[in-house]
Amino acid sequence: MADELDRVSDLEMAYRERALNAHLTRVTEVVIIDGYCNDCGEAIEPARLAAVPGVVTCIDCQHRRERRA
């Protein structure tokens, strides 16, 4: 279990770095990857964060976005 937590932590650090780089290069959509949903602010499940690299929304909001699209 500890190994898996370390791996998730490493991924999170990579995401933060990517988000920072995206911010520095001024991409059009500012995406904040901090483990919380960008739409509703709820915490995103760690399993979802690990399974979907760069995910920025919880499952509910992702479904909402897909319906809207």
Which residues here bind Zn ion, judged by CB under 5 A? 37, 39-40, 58, 61
Are the CB atoms for 49 and 8 separated by under 8 Å?
A: yes
- Shortest distance (Å) from residue 42 CB to Zn ion: 5
Query: Measured from the CB atom, is 23 or 65 closer to Zn ion?
Result: 65
Name the residue nearer to Zn ion (CB basis): 3 or 41. 41
Q: Side-chain half-sphere of 22: how many Cα atoms within 13 Å?
A: 14
User: Which CB atom, from 19 or from 56, has the smaller least distance to Zn ion?
Assistant: 56
- Cα 11 to Cα 6: distance, rounded to the nearest angstrom: 9
